[in-house]
Structure 1
Amino acid sequence: MADVPLTPGARARAAWRVWPVAARVALIYAASRLLTTAIMLVVAGASPADSRFGSDPSLADYVLGWDAQWYWTVAFGGYPSELPLDESGVVRENPWAFMPVYAHAANIVGFGTWGAGALAISLVAGYAACLALHALLRPRIGEDSATWAVVLFASSPLAALFQVGYAESLFMALLLAALLALVRRRWGWLYVLIPLLGYTRPGVLAFALLLGLYGVWRWWHRRSDSLAAREIAHIVALGALAVAVGFSWQVIAALVTGVPDAYLETELAWRRSWIPGIESFVPLEGWVRAAEFWFARWGLPEWSGYVALALLVGGTAVGLLSRRVRRLGPEMQLWAVSYILYLLAVFFPQSSTFRLLLPLSPLWGAAPRSALGRTVTLGVCVAGQCLWIALMYGHGNTYWQVP
């Protein structure tokens, strides 16, 4: 029987698969960064004079904008031994809200030129995150779907974070590496990755919850997936380490400043800029207060905010139980549950909400698998990227335009 000649599309796919994974991911990542750079240049060219960056800002202005200024302050000024107070004696925003790893790593990599180091770390860490995401998803959903998950991740609405002075890129590389180590049961790596995670960005307590839920899941399935005593010891020890690291920053801030709740008061300083008069941190309160605040701001009755919150929580729960998410494996499903519960416990929803959803990026593996679905999803990602960069960087000058 004569061989059927391959179509051009089939030949292109065959040639693509010959490339090493690292090269394929590098090409996807490079194309995505060029796209983001083009969007940033267009947005900068249209930036009005009353935006935070003024008219015609440079890409360097964007790299060093917003939270990058706080990381720069940490790198060169450290943390204050006395908390700054406003005229009424309430703690103001200060560097204690920002962890030290990214700030100091950028200074080291940039040889004192902090912006260059920050950009280099964000770019390289973003590529490492893409590699880790591919390795994490490929055994579960196959090569093709894992590659598409990388495409969507690298081109997502928040993709600009891979090339600005924010710690998210490095955090994502560490987080995805930690999830990969958990899936492969390489416990030794987690003893290194957990402290790095904890001192790069807040969120390691969500990983502690993941380890607890994972331990329960492994125990429940011990007949089909044997659970050795050595593994139990690692899971317990790593969970304890994650909890200790998660709370240690509060202890360090308290010891340096002499204020027992220095860290929590610092975090509340940002929340008070939205809702004045908050006296103390109460777990789970942020979302309830946000429902009241935003719906009143939009001229809607307070009860509608509660209904919307209930629908959001219920819809998220249904989504996490869907077959598409289950296909990603129990570790990814449990991570999504853990991180969402963490956000519900500690976060006040506002303009940074989308940025704080970035650690849920393994869920890109649950994206549509049809050609049309993938094309539409990618188009939505790029459109969202354009909108986010334009609102937060190009035209950012109001209280709700903070990345």
Structure 2
Amino acid sequence: MAEREVSRGARRNLRVRYRLTPWWAKVLVVFVASRVVTTAILLSFAARQGPNAWTPAHPDYFDFAAIWDGHWYYIIAVAGYPSTLPVTADGQVGESAWAFMPAYPAIVRAFMLLTGQGFPVVSVFVSVTFALAAALMFYRLMHLVLPAGTALFAVVLFCVAPLSPILQVSYAESMHAFLLALALYLLMRRRYWMLIPVVAVMSLTRPSGLAFALAMLLHVAHRWRVQRPSARSRQEFPVRERVASITVGLFSAVMGVAWLLVAAVVTGSLTAYTDTEIAWRSSYIGYGELVPFTPWLSATGFWAPWFGMPQPLLLALLVLIVAGFFAALLTPWARRLGTDMRFWIASYALYLLAVFFPQSSVFRLLVPLFPALGVLAIPKSPVYRVVIVALCIAGQWAWAQLGWWVDGYDWTPP
């Protein structure tokens, strides 16, 4: 009997200590534990990695983390952008650094100069630091709409998600995730003017300015529509907030095309950025014009033989998936995220449908949809939570096998 009371008292003390633990400490524990798992997975692949275009066989962690697009960020960090566009043997614009935004390599370059360390070490340090900041900011964002325990489990899912290894390699995704979580937090708190510098840097980290501009347009329209013209509505959506929110939306739209204009001015080619982006998909469908909303349609023709199905069937499947995705945003579970987060998820999905050609990188480009993890965090069943975490960790291994590990002539870039 006494032992049972002692056991109950110990459990009670643990619960009390857990409740008294600051939220940031809980997030830090989750983040560190998740990085141990993800690092172990990446190291297991590095140990089996053969010679490739970027490293010799069996590279250390930092060199292994700087392959693929990390090498482009390295070129930008040490040499900047070319003033002329490379041209292929058949006269087409080739691949170049202009496909990558400047904010992340600029920060890496600054720390390289401050520390004297090389690109692989510094870039991983910058990515991991932003990943931790993103996890902390994501908790704050989720806690605006979900209870503390659910918000923390959303952070768990963020940290162990199948694409979470991308947060600790030489890519800009972790920096963008932090800025996006901060932008959505400021938007939901109606701190419009503070959004301007965040949107500026975010738009120069990963392409997102146009998607955020659409989210702002939906936000303004929603606030305007749900309130009838009355004295009360003028208090709920006062003129100063209308001016501020519209200004942020217009600014975000400008930032959405700012890099295109920079590339045009430096290279002298008005289509420098879009031509460069087309070069990256030319190995799949050749060269052509970048016409909005056509890449996914073209992709059905390319991928149908790979899936062993006729193109009309694959196209119908694509339509069903897209319709199901947007319908899911109307469910009671998704509504728990609030209107603004759902506006972002819908806007970014539309952006991807408009401009991106689907191939293996599509998984990485889905990372900015991470606020949707709040929906998956809502069920409280311990069995469900253990299973979904296990599936996420298994997904990390699968993604590293498919996308990150270089297996001979690898046509599945991450």
Bin the TM-score by the shorter chain.
over 0.9
Residue 204 of structure 1 and its aligned partner are, at CA, apart by 1.5
Instruction: For residues 230-254 of structure 1, give each alpha carbon's deviation from its aligned partner in whole angstroms, at most 9, with x where no partner exists.
Output: 1110111001110111111111111
TM-score (norm 1): 0.95
Q: Secondary structure of the residue that 1:260 maps to in structure 2?
A: coil
CA distance in 1, matches of 2:46, 2:12: 40
Q: Look up the match of 2:230.
A: none
How far off its partner does 1:225 sit?
A: 8.0
Partner of 1:197: 202
Number of residue pairs matched? Answer: 400
Cα distance in 2 between the residues matched to 1:105 and 1:52 = 22
Report the counterpart of residue 161 of structure 1 in structure 2.
Answer: 166
Q: Show CA shifts across 1:341-361 (max 9, x none).
A: 111111111000110010011
> In the alignment, is the contact (CA less than 8 A) between 1:53 and 1:394 conserved in 2?
no
After TM superposition, the structure 1 = structure 2 runs for residues 242-391 of structure 1, keeping only pairs within 5 Å, are 242-276=252-286, 278-367=287-376, 368-391=379-402
* Distance of 1:270 and 1:155 partners within structure 2: 29
CA RMSD of aligned residues (A): 2.0
Q: Separation in 2 of the partners of 1:388 and 1:10? A: 41
Is the CA contact 2:359–2:412 (under 8 Å) kept in the aligned structure 1?
A: no
Bigger mean CA offset, 371-380 vs 89-98: 371-380
CA distance in 2, matches of 1:207, 1:5: 52
Farther off after superposition, 222-231 or 350-359: 222-231
Spell out the pairing of 1:218-233 with structure 2 (5 A cutoff).
Answer: 218-222=223-227, 223=233, 226-233=236-243
Which one-letter code corresponds to 2:257 in the other structure? F
- The CA distance in 1 between the partners of 2:222 and 2:109, in whole Å, is 41
Task: Find 2:178's aligned residue among 155, 163, 173.
Answer: 173
CA distance in 2: counterparts of 1:14 and 1:315, whole angstroms? 43
Among 231, 234, 243, the residue aligned to 2:244: 234
State the Cα distance separating 1:9 from its structure 2 match.
5.3
Between 366-375 and 139-148, the greater mean CA deviation after superposition: 366-375
Aligned position for 2:46: 44
8 Å CA contact 1:392–1:401 kept in 2: the answer is: yes
Identify unmatched segments of 5+ residues in structure 1.
Answer: none
Quote the Cα distance in structure 2 between the aligned partners of 1:100 and 1:12. 47
Amino acid at match of 2:363: F
- In the TM superposition, residue 118 of structure 1 has moved relative to its aligned partner by 1.1
Is contact 2:403–2:413 with CA below 8 Å preserved after alignment?
yes
Letter in 2 for 1:227: F
- Contact map agreement 1:129 1:176 (CA 8 A) in 2: yes
Q: How many angstroms apart in 2 are the aligned matches of 1:233 and 1:346?
A: 30
Q: Contact 1:283–1:345 (CA<8 Å) still a contact in 2?
A: yes
TM norm structure 2: 0.92
Distance 1:167 1:50 in 2: 22
Shift of 1:130: 0.7
- Secondary structure of 1:202's counterpart equals coil
Contact 1:218 1:225 (8 Å CA) reproduced: no
Change (3 A) 1:34 1:366: same
Aligned to 1:136: 141
Tell me if structure 2 keeps the 8 A contact 1:153–1:159. Answer: yes
CA contact (8 A) 1:28 1:151 kept: yes
Aligned partners of 1:274 and 1:346: how far apart in 2?
A: 15
- 1:81 aligns to what SS in structure 2? coil
Alignment of 1:21-170 (within 5 A): 21-48=23-50, 53=55, 55-111=57-113, 113-170=118-175
Change (3 A) 1:298 1:374: same
For residues 125-158 of structure 1, give each alpha carbon's deviation from its aligned partner in whole angstroms, at most 9, with x where no partner exists: 1111111111111131100110000011011111
Match for 2:274: what amino acid?
L
Q: Supply the distance in 2 between the matched residues of 1:286 and 1:300 (Cα, whole angstroms).
A: 19
Supply the distance in 2 between the matched residues of 1:255 and 1:51 (Cα, whole angstroms).
32
Counterpart CA distance in 1 for 2:401 and 2:410 is 15
Moved more, 115-124 or 333-342: 115-124
Structure 2: gaps (5+ residues): 228-232
Per-residue CA deviation, residues 201-246 of structure 1 (Å, 9 max, x unaligned), is 1112110100000001111223498101011101110011101111
Instruction: Work out the percentage of aligned pairs sharing the same amino acid.
Output: 37
* CA contact 1:122–1:165 (8 Å) conserved in 2: yes
In the superposition, relative to structure 1, how do residues 369 and 400 fare at CA in structure 2: closer, same or farther (>3 Å)? Answer: farther
Residues 54-111 of structure 1, C-alpha deviations (whole Å, 9 max, x = no match): 5322212222111111111111111111100101110111000111110010111233
10-19 vs 43-52, greater mean Cα deviation: 43-52
